[in-house]
Amino acid sequence: MNTNPIVPSSAGAARLDTATTPGDSGCGSPSPLHQGRGWGEGSLSGSRAEDRPAGSGPASGSRRAFLARLGLGAALFAVPGAFAEELARKTPWVEEGPFYPPKLPLDTDNDLLIVNDSITPAVGEVTHLSGRVLDKRGDPIRNAAVEIWSVDSHGIYLADSSNRGQYDSHFQGFGRFLTGSTGEYYFRTLRPVAYPGRRAPHIHFKLKLKGRDPWTTQLFVKGEPGNAQDGLWRGIGDEQARALVTVDFVPVKASRLGELAARFDIVLDITPAA
């Protein structure tokens, strides 16, 4: 278990009817970089990015500097009013699918590329995935537990017991992050790949807020030819709705290793308490 989160140094959204079509059965039915401490299974009482002492843990040094160059600057997040137009559209709900881990792994932090204290990272295209959780007025939601899970580079889920032998044991496969006052979340993970049954690469999200039912969606990769062949993606409302869950995975200019960055704000149908 990593004990310190890695966070970007400057860290500070509609219902979709289930739409399963033949050939898309994989997910068609039934559920800062290390933010691990305090996240016991089933618990939402984790530490927040903003609670971390500056320079502590793996976030310090070159990695922190690198993250700072990703463009995850405060300016991107500090003007909720400027996004009022966009926020008129809530993030589409997309079904959970069958591969939410029935038993959470020991390591559930927000760096999915390193399991526990391993020095061997997962194989695949490294992706810095970030965004904010917002209410329908565009204000950040604090204490939202953001959970993600996705396949390894071979297209296999952590929870796919029938293919466990082929699973990349260095890929955490699942991670979670508790938002602070900015509503920001951050994960280091892999660019998803297609797998049998799902032609559109995607990352599953589940959001948990106290007193509310868990809410799920899926994030898709802009420009993927498999999207148009994926029943779930096609079933997401209209073109505008699909666009809300389909984002660019862009090369990070500062990276010599071909790392990617993806930005996904999640707007929930929630009106803040007065």
Q: Where does this chain bind Fe ion (CB under 5 A)? A: 27, 97
Q: Which is nearer to Fe ion, 94 or 144 (CB)?
A: 94
Least distance in angstroms from the C-beta of 198 to Fe ion: 5
Least distance in angstroms from the C-beta of 150 to Fe ion: 7
Q: Which is nearer to Fe ion, 50 or 125 (CB)?
A: 125
CA distance 130 to 188: 9
Q: Which is nearer to Fe ion, 77 or 167 (CB)?
A: 167
Residue 204 tokens, joined: 């599953």
Least distance in angstroms from the C-beta of 232 to Fe ion: 9
Least distance in angstroms from the C-beta of 147 to Fe ion: 14
CA distance 201 to 222: 10
- The letter for the amino acid at 227 is N
Instruction: List CB contacts of 220: < 8 A, sequence separation 6 or more.
Output: 200, 201, 202, 227, 230, 233, 242, 245, 246, 247
Contact assessment for residue 231 and residue 24, using Cβ atoms and an 8 Å cutoff:
yes
What letters, b where the CB count within 10 A reaches 16 and e where it falls short, cover 154-186? ebbbbbbeeeeeebbebbbbbbbbbbbebbbbb
Q: Which is nearer to Fe ion, 52 or 176 (CB)?
A: 176
Least distance in angstroms from the C-beta of 218 to Fe ion: 7
Residue showing the smallest CB distance to Fe ion in the complex: 27
Q: Which is nearer to Fe ion, 27 or 178 (CB)?
A: 27
